A and B are shown apart, each in its own frame.
Chain A
């Protein structure tokens, strides 16, 4: 069974529906909810076991948090050092202020290579700048090589998680996509067979397409090296077989020294997939004669990141190493899946990252897509206080709304203004209580519960019931009790 076509998923925050609306697609789709919950449960139980066996987990988190904060405070110096070392090692470093510039730089490099096809290692940053549709529109065919990314690309679906992007698709759906797009009618839905089909499908691509695009997990300033963690070996293929390699990396990805990897690599795989180490981690430095691509480019992408440094609370968002532990731990993500967030970065990290990358001009509902339970903060390997950033962003969103002329048409705004007036004096408050109780009785059913309210009250009762008001307020009861005592 496949997803109905009406569930068109939009991961561009400029056009995506608000979070509560986006969430409905999943909430109404039991198969999708089952797929998401199953994947999350598996990762969570593996992660829990491996984190528990690490006696110095909290010390690792503290060290990583301090290290990443230090990098952000001195980002200019470390980027310049990375650029110098990478260049000295034979790489070429490009700087892109925004997504459009990054796309142009990459297209220019591909044209220079005469590339009509390109193989790609999974990179969320390339999804952020919507690179694939841009390249396809300019005559360059893109081939994703990560198994999950192939499923999405061939199935024309969108990622719903940053580490396991196809976790919302089950084996029957994968079988259907592969059978249709690879022309394999007799393919079984055994994951082993599906994986083998992907291996065969990609082998010739790896051996023949001479240009590759990757992201980066870490850039090392000291040596000018780039590190990529992966599981399948598609990364190693793309890093060694092509003649030319283009790496797209957010400016925040840099680490000061080679030795800092000892810290990040202990945290990343455990947090991301519940493994002590991912099967393959590759590190390379510029160009090495006789080994791997002989032309190597790094595109450093800002796209709203440097502006995030200005606010000390929000700055911590950039410590993120994209492990996805926060979304795996999040009770909201578990229910809604990733597509509801309307961004390639879903979950708690997406809820704080996306609005900031959009300069709060879009995705303003995302800071509210949280119960502020703090589970994300607790699991974050670099200790990003996500609830704190969410609250800060909510304050900013509210501030924005406060300056909009249209606010007087918003029942929520008017309601809160009236509440503000009523709650300011005890007399007004008691009066309002008395009338409110009479009014609310109209909506209270015989079972003592309110099942539906009109207007903005419906925002509450759409998804949950409200207990009817008691006959007496606490104050009234207290006063009556005093009287009786006398």
Chain B
């Protein structure tokens, strides 16, 4: 049995024996990469209203609940959503804006909560990093306001706040506008689901069965193209 180091050499040698570009320099590799064809759509076509309408439509198609509100109504909207859920114990990331901790509920703030403590929460409230309208996707980069990955996974009910200024039309727009690759990311497109039994779509296998999105209509100038997406903590 060869060691991992020997296998490494063996594999790399074997790859080099089979490919043309044996001693390619890093610069040449970068040039070859830059020259690759990318004729697909990089920019969206929709105006702000159509874009947000598409985001809402796609989320609803997945069975997610969407409510829209102005920035001034945000706290009241979150409160209304929490009350309507019929749940009482909510987990929250430590970096969640203070105003979102609606009084009257049992908040489990994630200062190193154990898995068992998170499991006891009936719901969770987080912010988010971006919305991608074309696929109805919400991107979590797990910043302090979005929380650890496990936090938005175990509770059965997830309320996620998304700002209109964070919504882009397509994946290429999203990837070109995030400032740097996140270390962790979860891209959520609707609630947990499976179609493994006779291709019948069933909501809620292991992740949250209920995804609620609060879309905050913040200032977004229709004609300007965002150079970079505002990050959760900027908002």
Chain A residues proximal to chain B, CB less than 8 Å: 35, 38-39, 42-43, 55-56, 59-60, 62-63, 66-67, 70, 72-77, 79-80, 89, 94-97, 100-101, 104-105, 145-148, 151, 164, 166-167, 170-171, 174, 191-192, 194-195, 198-199, 202-203, 206-207, 220, 222-223, 225, 231-234, 236-237, 239-241, 251, 256-259, 261-263, 265-266, 273, 275-285, 288, 290-292, 300, 302, 306-310, 315
Contact = CB atoms under 8 A, between A and B. Distances in A.
Q: Which 6 A-B pairs have the closest CB atoms?
A: A233-B207, A309-B18, A233-B206, A232-B205, A306-B14, A277-B189
B97 interface: no
B223 interface: no
B192 A307 contact: no
A377 B2 CA distance: 38
Given A236-B207, A309-B19, 12 more contacts: A38-B199, A56-B41, A79-B12, A174-B197, A192-B202, A206-B206, A240-B150, A259-B176, A277-B132, A280-B189, A281-B186, A315-B18
Interface size class of B (residues with CB under 8 A): 35 or more
Contacts, number: 249
B12 A291 contact: no
A69 to B, nearest CB: 9
B14 A307 contact: yes
7 contacts: A147-B205, A191-B202, A233-B208, A236-B153, A278-B189, A281-B189, A288-B184
Contacts of A239: 149
Contacts of B5: 95
Interface in B39-77: 39-41, 58, 62
- In this complex, the member of B32, B33, B197, B208 whose beta carbon has the largest number of chain A beta carbons within 10 angstroms is B197
B109 interface: no
Interface stretch (B79-87, B133-141, B213-221, B226-234): B133-141
Contact of A73 (B19, B40, B189): B19
Interface of B: 1-2, 4-5, 7-8, 10-12, 14-21, 24, 26, 29, 32-33, 36-41, 58, 62, 112, 115-116, 119, 132, 134-137, 142, 148-150, 153, 170-172, 174-176, 181-200, 202, 204-208
B12 A236 contact: no
Nearest to A92: B4
A234 B192 CA distance: 9
B40 A263 contact: yes
Nearest to B183: A285
B174 A262 contact: yes
A458 B194 CA distance: 45
Contacts of A284: 183-184
Given A74-B21, A164-B199, A283 B185 contact: yes
A146 B112 CA distance: 28
Contacts of B191: 279
A6 B208 CA distance: 41
A256 B81 CA distance: 42
Contacts of A282: 149, 185-186
A275 B193 CA distance: 12
B203 to A, nearest CB: 9
B205 A199 contact: yes
B183 A288 contact: yes
B46 to A, nearest CB: 13
Contacts of B10: 97, 302
B167 to A, nearest CB: 15
A288 B196 CA distance: 32
A97 B7 contact: yes
B149 A240 contact: yes
A291 B184 contact: yes
A63 B39 contact: yes
A236 B206 contact: yes
A155 B188 CA distance: 31
B15 A309 contact: yes
A42 B4 contact: no
B8 A95 contact: yes
Contact of B24 (A77, A280, A307): A77
Contact of B135 (A79, A145, A259, A277): A277
B14 A191 contact: no
A311 to B, nearest CB: 8
A143 B106 CA distance: 35
- In this complex, the member of A89, A206, A277 whose beta carbon has the largest number of chain B beta carbons within 10 angstroms is A277
A240 B2 CA distance: 32
Contacts of B207: 232-233, 236, 279-280
Contacts of A89: 183
B196 A76 contact: no
Nearest to A148: B196
A207 B115 contact: yes
Contacts of A55: 41
Contact of B33 (A167, A256, A281): A256
A43 B193 contact: no
Contacts of A164: 195-196, 199
Given A59-B40, A276-B135, A302-B11, A222 B192 contact: no
Nearest to A251: B11
A252 to B, nearest CB: 10
Given A306-B18, A310-B18, A194 B205 contact: no
Contacts of B24: 74, 77
A78 B123 CA distance: 41
Given A76-B12, A195-B205, A223 B19 contact: no
